Amino acid sequence: MSERIWLASYPKSGNTWLRILIGCLSLKDGEALDINKLPERGGIASARAPFDNLTLIDSGLLTHDEIDRLRPRIYEELGQSLEEEVPEGPQEPVQVRFVKVHDAYTLTSLGEPLLAGKRGAKAAILIVRDPRDVVPSLANHNGTTIDEAIEFMNNADAGFCNKPGRQHSQLRQQLPSWSGHIASWLDQRDIPIHLLRYEDLKRDTAGALLAVLDFAGVPATPADIERSTLIATFEALKKQERNTGFSEWHDRSGNGRLFFRRGDVGGWRDELTTEQILRIESAHGPMMKRLGYELSTSSELVLIG
Amino acid sequence: MLSYRLAGLSVESEIALPGLIDSVADCGPPEVRIRCGAVPEKLDDAGAFGPTWAMQGGRFLLRIPDIARFLLTDGREIAFETENGTSPEDAAVFLVGTVFGILLHQRRKIVLHASAVRVGDKAVLFCGRSGAGKSTMAAALDRRGYSLLNDDVCAIGLDRAGAPIAHSDGRRLKLWAQAIEHLELADRRGSPVRSRLQKFYVEPQDSFAHALPLGAVYGLRETRAPLQDGIERPNVVDSALVIRRSAYRPRMVDAMQQNSPYFQSAANIAARAGVFYLTRPLDFAKIPDVIGRLEAHWREIGLLEAIR
């Protein structure tokens, strides 16, 4: 029996980095990090295989909405047992299992939480990042222009793996705009949330990690945390990806796009035009303020925009 | 009443089973009967259950919410009742896939999540989870002239000498619109597998509906770091795991306490046919390269004659 905790975020907000930092806690002394053999393998909530295996139903024969109506049953079942989600290979016994999720916190058409409320996980770490930094990273991830990424983040109907006429590797993940996604998590009242800003994780990695573990009820010594932050620096992840590739990422464009890109705080200042900044701040100003991100444009400009 | 041969079994059905090439006139007394009728909402005293199913002795109940409930009894009978006004035709696609797969488990058969084509006089299987590219691989090979044996589900048996055989049943392929477009199969496209999906039955160029000895089993993997493109033979333990993980469905193997037969079968398949990993990019444009690599491998392991 284990407890599950969601690592929830809009894509490109530091979810994988945090997961690797947590995973590195279980490395033994002298053991090096291999980003393709991560110790923490809780997987992602939208994985297709556990759905098919637990329901016995071929998800490829169901519509996105039909799948969503069954998904709460999957998380209830996984919430009770570790058996089905562990992919392969030897596993260390763990008390808390962190599971990545990009889905917004939505209700199914039957009105129940897609992620099964507290029966699916006892809590969630919500990682957020300045949307102006998410935009260039998302454009790189999706293989689109900056403007298309802004449009995606403003679109209430956006999502991953949501196209008809093909089988996506994962189940549909609804991303109803950047603001809508974060609001869905912040405003739900089913499970407690620990809010973590990417910028704070970057600024004080050890402190942010300690707070996450404290919230999750995972014991860790300061030495463990320090070792983890020294091993899993963003630069180290970038370097490993350049050398060996990253198993969780496949650039189908063949243009050599990397998963770990800049990881900067404030990189948007040299990547976005004033007009692009205005569009993001105009669409997401209220949520940015709620999260403590300072707008670069005046409130009048935002209103005009 | 319609008659079919499915996974080596004679089947009598009150409704047409989609995706099977033909109903056959004479395939002997039915070993399995499929009928429409009342199906309970739940099974009392279930010994094993999951989010959509329950098992109690020889009875197995599967519910696909808002679509249909299926009650399987002793591997001999399937009763089904549709829900919420779903037409029997729209529910029937589940009968030949998931439901028949469970029935084969009830009959203690080894059932793999695999598509298969004929190479020489052998069956070559492609295993993998949903979305791994099994049907696409089979469709591309069918187009290249290798008859289609199975799509999605493949029952494994033994011949008199104890060698593994694949029970093929001459199914139509089920392909998404995207695959049909990329493989240029629009002229073979049939009806949608369900009215709400852009996934269609596709008539194979050629199909073969008899048992064939296994020639090779490939576990499909996408090329992702640190994996490289290619065909490799895993060690004995990993070979067994490829087969075990390719069970249709692994959860059923546990629920029906079939782990031991699966490992025995895996050892048999690995020894007498060969289990391999086929690692390739999930990219339609690369399919001709992959077929070239497979054909070279088939010459190497003696399934095709070597080029002189």
Interchain pair A77, B179: CB under 8 A: no
Q: Are A17 and A234 in contact (CB under 8 A)?
A: yes
Q: Tens digit of pLDDT for each residue in B98-114?
A: 999 999 999 999 999 99
Interface test with A, best of B249, B252, B256, B279 (most A CBs within 10 A): B249
The pLDDT profile of chain B, 308 residues, written as one tens digit per residue, is 899 989 989 999 999 998 887 667 666 789 999 999 999 999 999 999 999 999 999 999 999 999 999 999 999 999 999 999 999 988 999 999 999 999 999 999 999 999 999 999 999 999 998 889 999 999 999 999 999 999 999 999 999 999 999 998 878 999 999 999 999 999 999 999 999 999 999 999 988 888 999 999 999 999 988 889 999 999 988 998 999 999 998 999 999 999 999 999 999 999 999 999 999 999 999 999 999 999 999 999 999 987 65
By C-alpha distance, the chain A residue nearest B181 is A165
The ipTM of this complex is: 0.94
CA distance A247 to chain B (A): 5
* pLDDT number for residue B103: 97
Which tokens hold the place of B162? 């104890």
Of B64, B176, B197, the CB nearest to A57: B64
Q: How far is B40 from chain A (nearest CA, A)?
A: 18
Residues of A in contact with B251 (CB under 8 A): 53-54, 56, 84
Rounded to 10 degrees, the C-alpha dihedral B44/B50/B55/B60 comes to 110
Average pLDDT over residues A242-254: 81
DSSP H helices in chain A: 15-24, 48-55, 64-80, 117-120, 131-142, 146-154, 178-187, 198-203, 205-216, 222-231, 234-244, 274-290, 299-304
Q: Do B224 and A69 touch (CB under 8 A)?
A: no
Chain A CB within 8 Å of residue B289 CB: no
- Using the beta-carbon criterion (under 8 Å), do A60 and B131 form an inter-chain contact? yes
Question: In this structure, what token pair is assigned to residue A69?
Answer: 């109506």
Query: Nearest to residue A12, comparing CAs of A229, A249, A278, A241?
Result: A249
Query: Tokens 């993940």, residue?
Result: A173
**Separation in Å, CA B129 to CA A87, A170, B216, B247:** 12, 12, 18, 10
pTM above threshold 0.90: yes
User: How many Cα atoms sit within 13 Å of B130 on the Cβ side?
Assistant: 26
Residue range A6-11: average pLDDT? 98
The answer, yes or no, to whether residue A6 has pLDDT greater than 80, is yes
Burial class (CB in 10 A: 0-12, 13-18, 19+), B160: exposed
CB distance B94–A57 less than 8 Å? yes
User: How far is the alpha carbon of B51 from chain A, nearest alpha carbon, in Å?
Assistant: 6
Q: What is the DSSP string of A43-109?
A: -BTTBHHHHHHHH-S-GGGS-HHHHHHHHHHHHHHHHH-STTT--SS-----SEEEEEE-S---B-T
A 77-136: CB under 8 A from B: 77, 84, 88
In eight-state DSSP terms, residue B99 is I
With CB atoms and an 8 Å threshold, state whether B176 touches A165.
yes
Helix (H) or strand (E) holding A196: strand A193-197
Contact in structure between B106 and B119 (CB atoms under 8 Å): no
Q: Where are the beta strands (DSSP E) in chain B?
A: 2-6, 9-13, 32-36, 48-49, 53-56, 59-64, 68-73, 77-82, 110-119, 122-127, 148-150, 153-158, 164-167, 173-176, 189-192, 199-202, 211-222, 230-232, 275-280
Is the sign of the CA dihedral A175, A176, A180, A184 positive or negative?
A: negative
Compute the distance between CA of residue B198 and CA of residue B176 in angstroms, rounded to an integer.
6
Q: Tens digit of pLDDT for each residue in A196-239?
A: 999 999 999 999 999 999 999 999 999 999 999 999 898 888 89
- Distance from the Cα of A261 to chain B's closest Cα (Å) equals 17
Minimal C-alpha gap between A260 and chain B (Å): 14
Mean pLDDT estimate for chain B:
93
CA angle B20, B24, B29 (to 5 degrees): 115
A168-204: per-residue pLDDT in tens?
Answer: 989 999 999 999 999 999 999 999 999 999 999 999 9
Query: pLDDT tens-digit profile of A73-125?
Result: 999 999 886 444 445 554 454 579 999 999 999 999 999 999 999 999 999 99
Contact assignment for B199 to A48 by CB distance below 8 Å: no
B199:A61 CB<8 A = yes
Q: Is B226 on the interface with A (CB under 8 A)?
A: yes
